[in-house]
Amino acid sequence: MCGIVGYLGARQAYPILIKGLHRLEYRGYDSAGIALISDGGILNLYKSKGKVADLERFAEAKDTSGTVGIAHTRWATHGEPNDLNAHPHYSQSRSLALIHNGIIENYAVLRLELESKGYTFRSNTDTEVIVYLVEYIRDTDGVDLCTAVQLALQQVVGAYAIAILSKDDPDCIIAARKSSPLVVGIGEDEFFLASDATPIVEYTDRVVYLDDGEIAVLRRGEPLRVVDLHNAPVTPVVRRLAMNLSQLEKGGYPHFMLKEIYEQPQTLLNCIRGRINIEGTSVVLSGIIDNRERILSARRIIIVACGTSWHAALIGEHLIEDLCRIPVEVEYASEFRYRNPVILPDDIVIAISQSGETADTLAAVELAKSRGAFIYGICNVVGSSIARATDSGSYIHVGPEIGVASTKAFTGQVTVLSMLALTLAHEKGTVTDERFTALVRELQHIPDHITQVLKQAPAIADLAKTFTYARNFIYLGRGYNYPAALEGALKLKEISYIHAEGYPAAEMKHGPIALIDAEMPVVAIATTDSIYEKTISNIQEIKARQGKIIAIVTEGDTAVRSIADHVIPVPRVAEPFAPILASIPLQLLAYYIAVHKGRDVDQPRNLAKSVTVE
C-alpha cells in the first residue's frame, strides 16, 4: 500500500527520496510523487501515474534541488490512479504540500465545509481535505504549522500517516500517525522519515516508531520532538534496527520472490534458533513461558489473520487441537471485527501478520483486547503496530519479505505455530514425551528437507511450461494439507492471474467436480499420512473424469505415481509438518508459471504488500 519517504538534512534530498520510493515499490502502488523545497526556496511538486521510473523521467529536466523533501507512492482508494490524484497535494495557496497513507472517513463532510468557505479542490482524494484544512486553520487562527496540524487532526476521523512541508518554514517536516505506520530515522544532523524502515536502513540504524496520536517535528539543527494532538510532549524511544541492506536486495536472483523461496532453509533455521535446543529435546517460546498461567488456562484459542497468514492459522488450528486438545477457531480478521463475536475473558486470541500492519487484523486485536482477551502476536516486522498492540508474542524472524506473494513468512508462521503447539502440549502434558521429542527433532530437520525439495526447481520450471496456458486450476488437500492447497491456489492466482481454487479433496463430489474435464489441471497434495488412502480415492475420481493431475507425494510413493500425470516428491515427515514441505513446490510452480506468462512477479497488479486500509 501507499509508501512515505521524507528527508531533511545537509544532503540533496531528491536522490535519497527517489531511492526510498524504489525501496517501497514492493508495497504495491499505482502513482508516485515528490515535493521539495528548492535551494531557491520554492516548493516544487512533481507527480505522475505509473512507476517511480515514470516520476524520475517526468522530473528529469526540472528543478530537483533542495535538502528537504517528502515523497509518496500511492495505492488508489479514493479517486482513480492518475497524475491529479497522486500525492503530494498542495494546499489551496500552494504554500503547503502533504502526503498521506490511510483513509479519511469524514472527508466528504470536511470537504463540503471547506467548499462552503470558498475552497476549490483539485483532486478526488480524501487526502486533499487534510492539507486544505491545515492551511485554513493556520491562516484563520493565526497559529504555527504544528498547532494547525494538531487542530486539523482533532477534526479528522480515520486512519493516517502524514508528512507535511511548508514553503514558509523550509527547515521543518511535520509528520503524524494514527493506525498507519511511520518511522523516523535519526542520522548525524539529518532525519529520515518512512512508512517502514526499508528506505532508512542504509543511512542509519537509529529509529523511532511513532505511536498513534503522535506528531513528530523534524527541525534542522534540533533534536527530534514528539508531541501528542494536544501538544503534550512525548519522550521518543530510539531503537536499533536489526535489518541489513543485503536483505533488501535481490542478491543475484531475478525476483525477490525466488530469493525468498530459496532463503527458506535459512529463515526457518533463524526462526527455530535459540528456541529448540541442539539435542532436540526442548522448545522454549519465551512469549508463552512468560505468560504460562494465563495461556495454559485458556479454554479456547481464536486465531485472527488475513490471506496467507489465515492459511497458516488453519494449520495452527490443526496443530493446537491435535497436540494440545484446546478448541481453536480461525477467523478472517475482516469478518471477526464486524460481527460482534463472543470473546470470553479466558480466551486467547492469536493474531498472525507478516507485516504487523494489516488494518483488519489490527482492528480485530483491538476488539478482542477491549473484551478482555489475552492477545498473542505472531509477526515478522519487529516493532510493527500489531506486535506492539499484543500482550505477548513471538516474532518469526525470517527477515524482510519484499515479494508481494508471501512465501518465507508463511513457512515461518507455520514453524512458530508448530513450536507454540509443542510448547503448550508439553506444558499441558497432552503429548507423550516420545511423541514430543520425535516431533521436535523432525522440526529441526525441516530446513534440510526444504533444501532437498528446492533441488527440484528446474523440473518444476519445466512442468510449469506445460501449464502456462491453463485458464483454471484446482488444488486439493486433506487434513493438515488442506490449508496448503488453499495457499498453493492463492500463490498461483495472485502472481499468474490464473483462476485457482483450493478445496478439501473430499468436497469435490459435492459440486466442484462438475468443473473437471481434460482441460482442468488439478494439483493434489497426497503425502503419506493418516488419510492417504482416502486422498487416493479422491484423486481417482478426478482421473476418471480426465482431469490432469499434478501430485505432491512422499518420496518412494508408487500408488499416486501410477495415477497422476506428474508427481513432485517431497521427503517423508511427520504429518503436522507436511504442509511446510508441500508448500515449497507449490510456491515454485506458481512462480515459474507466472514467469513463463511474463507477469510482474514481485509486484502483481492491484496488490499491496502491507494492507493498511480495510
Tell me which residues are annotated as active site: 2, 609
Does 353 engage in binding with ligand F6R (CB under 6 A)?
yes
Q: Is 355 in the site for ligand F6R (CB under 6 A)?
A: yes
Output the smallest distance, CB 591 to ligand F6R, in A.
12
Instruction: For residue 593, state whether it binds ligand F6R (rule: CB under 6 A).
Output: no
CB of 484 to ligand F6R, least distance (A): 14
Contact status: 334 vs ligand F6R (CB under 6 A): no
Q: How far is the CB of 248 from ligand F6R (least distance, A)?
A: 17
Among 358, 392, 415, 444, contact with ligand F6R (rule: CB under 6 A): 358
The residues, any chain, with a CB within 8 Å of residue 79's CB and separated by 6 or more, are: 85, 123, 124, 125
**DSSP characters over 110-175:** HHHHHHHTT----SS-STHHHHHHHHHHHHHHT--HHHHHHHHHHH--B-EEEEEEETT-TTEEEE
Region label for 99, one of left (φ > 0), alpha (ψ between -120 and 50) or beta (otherwise) = beta
How far apart are CB 413 and ligand F6R at their closest, in Å?
8
Least CB distance to ligand F6R at residue 401 (A): 8
- Is 308 a residue that touches ligand F6R (CB under 6 A)? yes
Enumerate residues 6+ apart whose C-beta is below 8 A from 595. Answer: 254, 255, 464, 601
User: Residue 548 and residue 522: Cα distance in Å, rounded?
Assistant: 6
256, three cell numbers: 525477490
CA–CA separation, 145 and 136 (whole Å): 11
Residue 198 neighbours by CB under 8 Å, 6+ apart = 23, 24, 26, 243, 248, 400, 402
- The residue within the footprint of ligand F6R, chosen from 31, 44, 361, 392 (CB under 6 A), is 361
Among 486, 484, 464, CA closest to 599:
464
Choose the binding region for ligand F6R from 166-174, 347-355, 429-437, 529-537 (rule: CB under 6 A). 347-355
Q: Which is nearer to ligand F6R, 91 or 406 (CB)?
A: 406
Nearer to ligand F6R, 402 or 525 (CB): 402
Sole binder of ligand F6R in the list 159, 350, 405, 552 (CB under 6 A): 405
Radius of gyration of the chain (CA): 26
**Who contacts 575 (Cβ-Cβ below 8 Å, separation ≥6)?**
479, 480, 529, 530
Scanning 205-213, 349-357, 557-565, 574-582 for contacts with ligand F6R by CB under 6 A, the matching segment is 349-357
**How far is Cα of residue 603 from the mean position of the Cα atoms in its chain?**
13
Q: What is the dihedral of CA 240, 187, 96, 38, to 10 degrees?
A: -150
Residue 527 lies near ligand F6R (rule: CB under 6 A): no
Instruction: Report the residue from 306, 463, 516, 593 that binds ligand F6R according to the rule CB under 6 A.
Output: 306
Q: Is 538 among the residues that bind ligand F6R (CB under 6 A)? A: no
* Residue in 31, 127, 354, 392 binding ligand F6R, rule: CB under 6 A: 354
Binding status of residue 494 toward ligand F6R by CB under 6 A: yes
Of 193, 230, 228, the C-alpha closest to 208 is 193
Closer of 308 and 481 to ligand F6R (Cβ):
308
Q: Which is nearer to ligand F6R, 27 or 111 (CB)?
A: 27
Shortest CA distance to 590 belongs to which of 518, 494, 481, 522?
494
589 lines the binding site for ligand F6R (CB under 6 A): no
Closest residue to ligand F6R in the complex (CB): 307
**Judged by CB under 6 A, does residue 612 bind ligand F6R?**
no
Query: Does residue 406 interact with ligand F6R by CB under 6 A?
Result: yes
Is residue 383 involved in binding ligand F6R (CB under 6 A)?
A: no
Q: Which residues contact 230 (CB under 8 A, 6 or more apart)?
A: 150
What distance in Å separates the CA atoms of residue 595 and residue 328, rounded to the nearest whole number? 38
Among 307, 316, 479, 569, binds ligand F6R (CB under 6 A): 307
SS3 548: strand
The residues binding ligand F6R (CB under 6 A) are 306-309, 353-355, 358, 361, 405-406, 490, 494, 611
